[in-house]
Amino acid sequence: MTSAQKFIAIDGPAGSGKSSVSKEIARRHGYGYLDTGAAYRALAWHVLDRGADTSDADAVRAAASDFPFAQALDPDDRRVRVGGADVTDAIREPRVSAAVSGVARVPEVRVQVNEMFRRIVADSEYPAVVVEGRDITTVVAPDAPVRILLTAAPEVRAARRAGELAGENAAAVAEALHKRDASDSSVVDFLNAAPGVDVVDSTELDFAQTVAAVLTVIDQRRDADTGA
């Protein structure tokens, strides 16, 4: 098996459900789970921890050149470390969230981080790894046997994200989500499926139905890849 064949590639915008669905898929199949967004968040934290600003591309490159990132692949163990620091909770802080786009916009850094993802999957002991992000189906693993774009209508995604963030103003959450979509989509297109990528639209589906729809695609694609 090649390293590309170990990828279950799932892309999608914020609020599409890709994280929760990907983790559930990994649990059911005994696969690993890699949240690529956590790596970019961890790098943003790393830049800030060095006293720099992610709007400074040179500072981002410097931090990326010394980025001791580690992430557990167990879907029920989401610890993220940078060197000796456990940053699992810190990378979800608002200051980090606001800084992530600056990291993701540096092309050389994206190349470096994407190569890191490939190494993590190739070196894992899991038979496959569910890797979710923004450009997994198109850039990181375009030869993966399973490539899925998980999406939903913008208003549905906003409502879901507001539900996850208890106490947050729904309108503010929706505005932040739309701004993030607009900003991130200028770097990589995660709103439209590339050729050969299966689309699962969860607008009218609940969580269990979405998981079932994704599992169906995975089973069909992996069967086709093995000639079953």
Annotated binding site for ATP: 12-20
Helix (H) or strand (E) holding 147: strand 146-151
Find the angle CA(136)-CA(38)-CA(190) to the nearest 5 degrees.
Answer: 35
CB-count exposure of residue 65 (10 Å: 0-12, 13-18, 19+)? exposed
Contact 45, 91 (CB under 8 A): yes
End-to-end CA distance of the chain: 16
Contact 118, 140 (CB under 8 A): yes
**Structure token digits, residue 51:** 């006293």
**Residue list, annotated binding site:** 12-20
